[in-house]
Structure 1
Amino acid sequence: MTICKQIVEALSDLSIPEKAAFFPRFFKTGKGEYGEGDQFIGVIVPEQRKVAKEYFSKISLEELSGLLSSEIHEHRLTALFMLILKFEKTKDQIVKDEIVEFYLNHLKYINNWDLVDSSCYKILGRYAFENQKESLLKELSKSDQMWHKRIAVVGTMYHIKKGSSELTKEFVIQNLHHPHDLMHKANGWLLREMGNKNEDELIAFLNLYYKKMPRTCLRYAIEKLDQSVRQDYLKGRI
């Protein structure tokens, strides 16, 4: 039995029919929705992480490619969890380079918000920060693909954790008026994280741009501010 088949069978054994019925609605897989056509078997994330931890050191990138290109959502997410573990556990720069190249070559399969948000800053964002290769994120932010843009801005989470917010602000401004609500949420979320590190920096940014922001973005960005301050922004009193 191939290792991919072992992983597929392990996930199948963990499937929950009720979750398999619920996830397509939760991840918007209907016609015309952002996750159109995605398929689920009903495995919860903690169980996927356990499977990833068991198999990540045993599977090659070539084998991982088959799992990451699966039509089953949980196969792809588990593959990404394994890829993250491979990246975090190695100290070999050549291996890290290969993992990042692999990630970039499989972007078309990283096509829902949980797949993006679980992986991009832990692999691509960290790599860009540690190797001064922000150009990788900048190219994605300019892409016509919405998931690429989300990968770019959420990828800056690693920069924020290290105290650097300039790239986050650049991407938020660049895609401030993107038509999709998922980008508004991502932009607001990253601004909120920036504020968690430096509230004064968030306030300064909001004072310049809050009246131009989609409402969803603003609500996410101000979520951790004092109630009175949030109301001032929501009512345009600043």
Structure 2
Amino acid sequence: MKDTGGTTGNTSLAALNAEFKKAADPAKAKLLARYFKTGKGEYAEGDKFLGLTVPVTRGLVKKFMKLPYSEIIRLLHSPWHEHRLAALMIMVERFHQGGEEEKASLHRMYLANTRFVNNWDLVDCSAGHLVGAWLAGRDKKLLFRLARSKDLWEKRIAMVSCFHGIVRRESAVALKIARLLLSDRHDLIHKAVGWMLRELGKRCSEKILVDFLRNNYASLPRTTLRYAIERFPKKRRKEFLTGKF
């Protein structure tokens, strides 16, 4: 992998770590740990937080956009949640600013490290860019492989990656991925599918969404249905929730 990190700007991972440590908020870290389900047996068991909000993290990371790839990977492998978020923010920004070679490198880096993209916020801030945008105009087999993965986060990556196509009024692949994931048991997949279906109805066609809901009603998880119909008028929401449509 060619490292295209520049020589301008701050390229010191040690400096980034120092700034993040200085901005840490222990009280907020406890709240974030509970919010992101880090307890024993929960989906993010053992994840650690410094207590930085997303706006604070985004503000701090602006000075470190030129980190070399090797340092970005080290940041992505950090046990601290905000470090991993920062790494993904850098990757997304570099992806959109870079040429084809850099985009390809960042896409490959992302896929090689999905085990560190291990919470819903990390997936949601990155998948539509580093997977969805890269696959625009390319074969979508990767999304189906990810959707069939045993890994929770890879399945969510598959679904959220479809957002890039949805905003461009492309619904076919998103519907196929959604259908594949309807049988999944995890609430975070139910929510991701419902979210993408809702966006599809808004940006592509409400009729396409309604047809999908009707044709798959018997297998729709309740959470998925609630998310998908969130923008419907109250009367229509009630019809779908009661199955009287």
Q: Tell me whether 1:152 sits opposite 2:164 in the alignment.
A: no
Q: In structure 1, what is the Cα distance between the partners aligned to 2:79 and 2:139?
A: 31
Structure 2 unmatched ranges of 5 or more = 1-9
TM-superposed deviation, 1:210? 2.2
> Residues 210-221 of structure 1: matches in 2 within 5 Å?
210-221=217-228
Matching residue of 2:134: 127
TM-superposed deviation, 1:211? 2.9
> Residues 31-180 of structure 1: matches in 2 within 5 Å?
31-56=40-65, 58-90=66-98, 92-130=99-137, 132-180=138-186
Structure 1 runs of 4+ aligned residues shifted over 4 Å read none
CA contact (8 A) 1:53 1:85 kept: no
CA contact (8 A) 1:49 1:78 kept: yes
Letter in 2 for 1:187: V
Q: In structure 2, what is the Cα distance between the partners aligned to 1:135 and 1:19?
A: 41
Q: Which moved more, 1:15-24 or 1:36-45?
A: 15-24
Give the aligned length: 235
Matching residue of 1:205: 212
CA contact (8 A) 2:11 2:67 kept: no
Aligned-residue Cα RMSD (Å) equals 1.2
- Choose between structure 1 and 2: higher helix proportion: 1
Q: Tell me whether 1:20 sits opposite 2:23 in the alignment.
A: no
Q: Tell me whether 1:226 sits opposite 2:233 in the alignment.
A: yes
Per-residue Cα deviation, 1:183-228 (whole angstroms, up to 9, x for no partner): 1000100000001111111111111112321110100000001111
Q: In structure 2, what is the Cα distance between the partners aligned to 1:184 and 1:104?
A: 23
TM-superposed deviation, 1:8? 1.1
Q: In structure 2, what is the Cα distance between the partners aligned to 1:167 and 1:52?
A: 34
Distance 1:8 1:226, change over 3 A: same
Q: Which moved more, 1:12-21 or 1:186-195?
A: 12-21
Q: In structure 2, what is the Cα distance between the partners aligned to 1:121 and 1:44?
A: 21
Normalised to the residue count of structure 2, the TM-score between the two structures is: 0.93
Normalised to the residue count of structure 1, the TM-score between the two structures is: 0.96
Over the matched positions of the two proteins, sequence identity in percent amounts to: 38
Per-residue Cα deviation, 1:131-187 (whole angstroms, up to 9, x for no partner): x13122221111111110000000000010111011111111111011111110001
Structure 1 unmatched ranges of 5 or more = none
Q: In structure 1, what is the Cα distance between the partners aligned to 2:163 and 2:11?
A: 36
TM-superposed deviation, 1:2? 6.9
Letter in 1 for 2:135: A
CA contact (8 A) 2:75 2:84 kept: yes
CA contact (8 A) 1:157 1:190 kept: yes
SS at match of 2:134: helix
Q: In structure 2, what is the Cα distance between the partners aligned to 1:28 and 1:82?
A: 25
